[in-house]
Amino acid sequence: MSNLWRTKLRSVLTILGVVIGIGALSSMVSFGVGMQKNLTDAFKKNDLFTSLNVTARSVNLEEISSGNLSNLNEKLQEPVTALNDSVVEMIRKIPGVVVAFPEIRFPVKLRFRDKETNLTLSAVPVGMKSFYPFSEIKKGQFFKNDSSFQLLIREKTLQDMGFKLKDNPEDTSAISGKYILLDTDSVIDSAIDIISKDIDLRGILANPFMVLMSQRRLPFKDTVIPFKLTGIIPEREGFGFDRFGGGVFVPLETSKRIPNLGFDNVWDLLGEDLPGDKYGSVYVRVNDMKMTKAVVDTLKNKGLNVFAFSEELKEIKRAFMIMDSLLGAIGLIALVVAALGIINTMLMSILERTREIGIMKSIGGSEAEIRIIFFVEAASIGLIGAVFGLGLGWLVTRIANAVMNSQLKPQDLPAVDLFSFPLWLILGAIAFSVLISLAAGLYPAIRAARVDPVKALRHD
Amino acid sequence: MIIITTKKLIKQYRKGKIIVPALNDISIKVKQGEYISVIGKSGSGKSTLLNLIGGLDTPTAGDLIVQDKALQSLSRKELAKYRRFVVGMIFQSFNLIPSKTARENISLALIFGGVPGKERKRRACELLDMVGLKDRTDHKPSELSGGEAQRVAIARALANDPEIILADEPTGNLDSSTSSEIIDLLVKLNKQKGKTIIMVTHDEEAAGKVSDRLIRLKDGMVV
Ligand SMILES: Nc1ncnc2c1ncn2[C@@H]1O[C@H](COP(=O)(O)OP(=O)(O)OP(=O)(O)O)[C@@H](O)[C@H]1O
Ligand SMILES: [Mg+2]
């Protein structure tokens, strides 16, 4: 070690190169790992690993776009398990399935306290009460039953309409100009209207030419259905997004009684309905991630098409691997430059220490021992560089994170941690740095071992 | 008993196309426990001969046998071992590692000799005590006088208890009184410990007093 510090400045600069290299590498990889962790956590939080989507028939879009239609034709000839209530009931009985319900979703107009907005309405059964995001309801409560005229609204939807809840911990006076403040207790159970558009079928049947003739007035009619606002779904935290789109939720059975222009009904209208195929898709909830695979297999055996996020995870993992590698490559370049620095420093040091090497040989040092001495020096550079480099990387990520969060805060977004420093990253970075340094020390060490002692000791 | 034998030893240095003859047909025998002085003009090949016997260099032709082993048949690894255990070398310019203390310089030789850590410290102090430098253990070469530095070098040469001491102008950088101290130390090693000593010197008079035999070199040949 004393040799290492003898030419202190040069050593410090060489180590600094490694510090920067490892700092860049570790912060880059830390970002990749952090993003992956955030996304996986979000998936877990939103139960994506235990959620499945069942559709009646799969159409392979890739095949169609590549012009291979023979398969498509075969597919269309295959017997189809239609998605109707009896199928939903059957799915419910598969072991491991907790909840299964048809996904009903259509656009409506919402009217609350003289304000109106267009949004998507989704239907959920009472069985979803204990699942995210419905488990997060703090203001109000979930539906009493599947056919009540109760309604859940997202806090975000209220905000978009210009309302803000009074009991929000933020300074209410500052936003009072922008928003109408609501007293939470008085909002719960207050009236809210769903205004649904529907085609006046009877009108069309009475006069089919009406559609063609009256361009201005299409045969739509509005239906106003009074609901009670029973609960507010709070805003999501972190990288959250729940798979339940839509701004308002109504009970499953109730939704079926709302006239609408949903996708299914257009097929109804055209009379192209498959026999008994009532729903476009069914949402299935599995009780445990471990059961997902078995449930997927059972559903596939029944001729149903299943989309499971857990199956997509492999793809996502691969995408992240590519991202991590790209980020790592940037850091790697810095480390390669640092390695060149090590080679340069060590070759210089060998030139300066030729005599010393000659002395070591004259007192019985073997080539292997001299090589080891230089390897140890290279490894020390790598080790010290890695430790401080990790410190630098950590510091950089903390600063970047703080800057990022300071940007998020004014936008009312929750704080996030973009980076992650797992133990394997720390140990891996140290091992990698030492390894790279040893590789850089390889040629200098061989050169050192080959020094001719007679020549080395000759000049004074 | 003969410890060193050279037969028609030839060493040539090649500088591009020019061949520089350093040793020409050297045949000598050295008995165990002998004190031999090598004298000759500058460039006569004294250092070259010592380097060959010390295993630092390899002969161009001829035989070099030390303790019944032909050095030219040894591998580089075996040659390192030979330098470690059979010979100890001392130089005009001391050749101590400047960044290490007296004790550390000796310890390095002990490390190569495979002496374990605790034993190393004890042995190094013992050796320094023997050359009269008990109180200089933690001094760096730059903090030592020439005579002291050379004594550290002698202690280091003795670290792994070699049979042969090779000294290349050990007093060349020292004043006359310090020189005689160093020579006295070598004589003591020769007489008390029975070390075989080959010493290169320019001081023929002093050499004549202490050594059993003089070998005179001229243009790479014994005269
Ligand atoms: N590495 C070398 N390359 C080329 N020539 C060399 C080399 N080493 C020694 N010589 C030559 O070999 C000859 C003998 O050199 P050597 O060092 O043995 O002389 P020396 O007797 O020790 O001289 P001095 O008293 O000056 O130390 C000289 O002519 C020298 O120039
Ligand atoms: Mg010489």
Q: Give the ipTM of the model, two decimals please.
A: 0.95
* pLDDT score at A267: 46
* pLDDT score at A444: 93
For residues A137-148, give the mean pLDDT. 81
Query: Tens digits of per-residue pLDDT, A20-63?
Result: 999 999 998 898 888 888 877 777 776 777 888 887 765 545 55
Tell me, yes or no, whether A84 lies in a domain.
Answer: no
- Among A234, A263, A292, where does a domain finish? A263
Tell me, yes or no, whether A246 lies in a domain.
Answer: yes
A110 and A233 both lie in a single domain = yes
Residue B137: pLDDT band by 50, 70, 90 thresholds? Answer: very high
Does B15 reach chain A within 8 Å, measured CB to CB?
A: no
Please give the mean pLDDT across all residues of chain A. 79
Lowest-confidence segment of A90-104, A157-171, A361-375 by average pLDDT: A157-171
Residue nearest atom 25 of ligand 1, based on CA coordinates: B42
For residues B174-189, give the mean pLDDT. 93
What is the tally of structural domains in chain A? 2
Six token digits for residue A73: 């034709």
Nearest to B22 by CA among A359, A448, A458, A361: A458
Of the two residues A177 and A297, the one the predictor is more confident about is: A297
Q: What is the pTM of this model?
A: 0.68
Nearest-by-Cβ selection for A364 from B96, B100, B160: B160
What is the rounded CA–CA span in Å between residue A403 and residue A399?
Answer: 6
Of the two residues A315 and B101, the one the predictor is more confident about is: B101
Phi, psi of A168 (to 5 degrees): -65, 135
* pLDDT score at A240: 47
* pLDDT score at A75: 54
For residue B43, what are the CA distances in angstroms to B21, B48, B49, B197? Answer: 10, 9, 11, 21
Contact A364 B80 (CB under 8 A): yes
Of the two residues A55 and B164, the one the predictor is more confident about is: B164
Tell me, yes or no, whether A451 lies in a domain.
Answer: yes
pLDDT at A315 over 70: yes
* pLDDT score at A292: 82
Sheet containing B35-40: which strands, arranged edge to edge? B87-91, B164-168, B196-200, B35-40, B213-218, B221-222
A236 and A373 both lie in a single domain = no
Q: How far is the CA of B46 from the centre of ligand 2 (A)?
A: 6
The span from the first CA to the last CA of chain B, in angstroms, equals 24
Range of the domain at A398: 2-43+316-458
For residue A410, what are the CA distances in angstroms to A160, A178, A330, A392, A418? Answer: 17, 15, 32, 28, 18
* pLDDT score at A124: 85
Nearest to A300 by CA among A58, A36, A69, A25: A58
- Pocket of ligand 1 contains residue B13 by CB under 6 Å: yes
Q: How far is the CA of A347 from the centre of ligand 2 (A)?
A: 29
- Pocket of ligand 1 contains residue A455 by CB under 6 Å: yes
Does B145 reach chain A within 8 Å, measured CB to CB?
A: no
User: A355 contacts in B (CB within 8 Å)?
Assistant: 95
Residue nearest atom 13 of ligand 1, based on CA coordinates: B22
Q: Which of B12, B13, B47, B56 to mutate to test the interface with A (most CBs of A within 10 A)?
A: B56
Residue B92: pLDDT band by 50, 70, 90 thresholds? Answer: very high
A218 and A325 both lie in a single domain = no
Residue nearest atom 17 of ligand 1, based on CA coordinates: B47
SS (H, E, C) chain B: CEEEEEEEEEEEEEECCEEEEEEEEECCEEECCCEEEEEECCCCCHHHHHHHHCCCCCCCEEEEEECCEEHHHCCHHHHHHHHHHCEEEEECCCCCCCCCCHHHHHHHHHHHCCCCHHHHHHHHHHHHHHCCCHHHCCCCHHHCCHHHHHHHHHHHHCCCCCCEEEEECCCCCCCHHHHHHHHHHHHHHHHHHCCEEEEECCCHHHHHHHCCEEEEEECCEEC
Six token digits for residue B8: 């028609």
C-alpha dihedral (B101, B105, B108, B110), degrees to nearest 10: -110
Tell me, yes or no, whether A205 lies in a domain.
Answer: yes
Residue nearest atom 3 of ligand 1, based on CA coordinates: B13
pLDDT at B59 over 90: yes
- Pocket of ligand 1 contains residue A452 by CB under 6 Å: no
A239 and A386 both lie in a single domain = no
- Among A240, A263, A286, where does a domain finish? A263
What is the rounded CA–CA span in Å between residue A143 and residue A249?
Answer: 10
- Pocket of ligand 1 contains residue B46 by CB under 6 Å: yes
Percentage of the residues of chain B whose pLDDT score is greater than 90: 93
Of the two residues B114 and A211, the one the predictor is more confident about is: B114
The beta strands (E) that lie in A215-361 are given as: 220-233, 248-251, 281-286, 305-308
For residues B132-154, give the mean pLDDT. 95
Residue A300: pLDDT band by 50, 70, 90 thresholds? Answer: confident
What is the rounded CA–CA span in Å between residue A249 and residue A132?
Answer: 13
* pLDDT score at A205: 64
A356 and A217 both lie in a single domain = no
- Among A263, A278, A294, where does a domain finish? A263
pLDDT at A270 over 50: no
Query: Tens digits of per-residue pLDDT, A75-121?
Result: 555 555 677 777 888 888 888 888 888 888 888 888 888 888 888 88
For residues B202-220, give the mean pLDDT. 92
Nearest-by-Cβ selection for B100 from A2, A457, A460: A2
Tell me, yes or no, whether A310 lies in a domain.
Answer: no
Contact B99 A360 (CB under 8 A): no
* pLDDT score at A1: 47
pLDDT at B7 over 70: yes
A361 and A239 both lie in a single domain = no
b/e sequence A333-371, b meaning 16+ C-beta within 10 Å: ebbeebbebbbebbeebbeebbbbbbbbbbbbbbbebbb
Tokens 């399935």 correspond to what residue? A97
What one-character DSSP code corresponds to residue A234?
A: P
What is the rounded CA–CA span in Å between residue B177 and residue A380?
Answer: 46
pLDDT at A208 over 70: no
For residues A315-340, give the mean pLDDT. 85
* pLDDT score at A217: 57
* pLDDT score at A176: 59
User: A7 contacts in B (CB within 8 Å)?
Assistant: none
pLDDT at A150 over 70: yes
Nearest-by-Cβ selection for B99 from A3, A361, A365: A3
A19 and A108 both lie in a single domain = no
* pLDDT score at B96: 95
A356 and A430 both lie in a single domain = yes
Tell me, yes or no, whether A50 lies in a domain.
Answer: no
Six token digits for residue A393: 């990387």
Of the two residues A296 and A310, the one the predictor is more confident about is: A296
What sections of A127-188 are H helices per DSSP?
155-161, 172-175, 184-187
Tell me, yes or no, whether A420 lies in a domain.
Answer: yes
Q: How far is the CA of B47 from the centre of ligand 1 (A)?
A: 7
Tell me, yes or no, whether A411 lies in a domain.
Answer: yes
* pLDDT score at A77: 53
* pLDDT score at A272: 43
For residues A416-443, give the mean pLDDT. 91
Query: Tens digits of per-residue pLDDT, A236-246?
Result: 654 445 667 77
Residue nearest atom 30 of ligand 1, based on CA coordinates: B43
Contact A362 B89 (CB under 8 A): yes
For residues B130-144, give the mean pLDDT. 94
What is the rounded CA–CA span in Å between residue A146 and residue B84?
Answer: 93
- Pocket of ligand 1 contains residue B15 by CB under 6 Å: yes
* pLDDT score at A280: 78
Residue A174: pLDDT band by 50, 70, 90 thresholds? Answer: low
Contact A362 B156 (CB under 8 A): no
* pLDDT score at A302: 78
Query: Min CA distance, B215 vs chain A (Å)?
Result: 22
A129 and A254 both lie in a single domain = yes
* pLDDT score at A67: 57
Q: Is B15 exposed, middle or buried (0-12, 13-18, 19+ CB in 10 A)?
A: exposed
Choose which residue among B47, B89, B173, B223 to substitute to test ligand 1 binding: the one with the highest number of ligand atoms within 8 A of its C-beta: B47
DSSP run (H or E) holding B62: strand B61-66
- Pocket of ligand 1 contains residue B20 by CB under 6 Å: yes
